[in-house]
Amino acid sequence: MKKWLACILVAGLICLGLLACEKKENSIQQEDQGEQLITVGFSQLGAESDWRSANTKSMKEAFSKENGYNLIFEDGQQKQSNQIMAIRTFIQQEVDYIVLAPVTETGWDTVLQEAKEAGIPVILVDRMVDTDNEDLFTCFVGSDFELEGKKATAWLKAYLEKKGIAPEEVNVVNIQGNLGATAQIGRSEGIRYAAAEYGWNLLDQKPGDFTQAKGKEVMEYFLKRYPELNVVYCENDNESFGAIEAIEEAGKKVGTDIQNGDIMVLSFDGVNGEALQYVIDQKIACIGECNPLHGPRVSDIIQSLECGIKPPKLSFVSEEIYVHDQTVKSVSVDGKEYSVTTMTEEVANKKAEQFGN
């Protein structure tokens, strides 16, 4: 691939910014699609949720031949061994870039070292890796999951205070995601910290694997074990669907009036139209948004690397908080104020269209 030509052309224009560089690079690539395509190997961890499906769609659309890419896509089917095999195959194929959405944080050093020795930049998307050598990956783009958890629990604290509900009345269960995944680690830390800080009773936490079926199974267990529970903290929307199904099948009511027997559900993602409607209907009290549209962001990073521009090591996306009413209009986390979006039909339709559902 004749990267030097693009970089020579833009060398005198770097001061004009990355956008000028990208436009020049793209125009050069389109002169000869057969020779100029940038080959990207993408190891997606699986298809466990609506969020993951939207993320995969975004990546495939961004890395199309029309955009100057040759994408080699591999679905890891929730197995790290499959992803490691895919990365080694990418190395053998001499791809230009490797994009990895790791199923779990640990266990990547050896294969990432192999990619580094082959001179192939590795871009992490959505989830991080736990390594002492950060030179093994070029950069990360995705969500700040710990911040997501802090914002959701800050909303819950403010909402309960507005309703006059004492901390000792709050009995929380946590349906976790895949243990060891960055999203699970950050969101679980959020509820553990909040419970200890605010005096809530964190009754139990068990993994729901980010799926509806497992979320329902875990919720059924919690309902039998803890009849006093009144708040369910689900680490993604699919788990919340399963939890709500279990609650309603048990003859209980999902809602926000926990003083009168309702069970309040909190969730994360907000990419599914059904989840957004559940916020309007007060079946989900609060959703911490997790934006899946990383394809264009990763493409921008690759274009900057093509021009010799080093991207930031960590790039976090900004995300909203969706709630059912205007009881709480903003929350404060670590000294910063975050506005809260009240979910309406108009907002839900706009978000559903944005995420393609």
SS3 assignment, position 70? strand
The answer to whether residues 175 and 28 belong to one domain is no
Determine the pLDDT at residue 9: 38
What percent of the chain is modeled with pLDDT above 90? Answer: 86
Q: In the prediction, which pLDDT does 357 show? A: 63
pLDDT at residue 267 above 90?
yes
Tokens of 154: 């800050």
Mark whether 105 and 170 lie in a shared domain: no
Helix (H) / strand (E) containing 203:
strand 201-207
Q: What pLDDT is attached to residue 35?
A: 56
Structure-token match 């580094």, residue found: 116
Looking at residues 11-39, what average pLDDT do you find?
50
Compute the distance between CA of residue 236 and CA of residue 268 in angstroms, rounded to an integer.
4
| Residue 332, domain extent | 145-290+325-354
Query: Residue 267's domain is classified under what CATH number?
Result: 3.40.50.2300
DSSP run (H or E) holding 344: none
User: Between 80-92 and 109-117, two packed helices, what is the crossing angle to 10 degrees?
Assistant: 10
Which pLDDT does position 232 carry in this prediction?
98
Residues 281 and 332 in one domain: yes
Same domain, 347 and 251: yes
What pLDDT is recorded for position 353? Answer: 79
CA-wise closest residue to 180 among 289, 107, 269: 107
Whole-number mean pLDDT of the chain? 91
The predicted pLDDT at position 36 comes to: 87
- Of the two residues 295 and 5, the one the predictor is more confident about is 295
* Residue 223, token pair as written in the block: 């309902």
> 15-29, 121-135, 239-253, 283-297: lowest mean pLDDT where?
15-29
Enumerate residues 6+ apart whose C-beta is below 8 A from 112.
Answer: 87, 122, 129, 131, 136, 137
52 with 98: CB under 8 angstroms? Answer: no
Q: Is 267 helix (H, G, I), strand (E, B) or coil?
A: strand
Average pLDDT of the segment spanning 215-241: 98
Task: Indicate if 28 and 119 belong to the same structural domain.
Answer: yes
Instruction: List, for residues 76-115, the tens digit of each pLDDT value.
Output: 999 999 999 999 999 999 999 999 999 999 999 999 999 9
Are residues 48 and 119 both part of a single domain?
yes
Strand partners, 140: 124, 314
From CA 38, how far away is CA 101, in angstroms rounded? Answer: 19
Structure tokens at 64: 């199309």
Give the total number of structural domains in the chain: 2
pLDDT tens for 168-203 read 999 999 999 999 999 999 999 999 999 999 999 999
- Nearest Cα neighbor of 54 from 299, 303, 290 is 290
Do residues 173 and 277 share a domain? yes
SS3 205: strand
Could you tell me how many helices (H) and strands (E) the chain has, helices first? 13, 15
Same domain, yes or no: 28 and 131: yes
Task: Tell me, yes or no, whether 115 and 262 share the same domain.
Answer: no
Q: Are 227 and 109 found together in one domain?
A: no
Indicate if 151 and 222 belong to the same structural domain.
yes
Q: Domain check: are 231 and 244 in the same one? A: yes
Report which of 116, 98, 101, 127 is spatially closest to residue 39, judged by C-alpha positions.
98
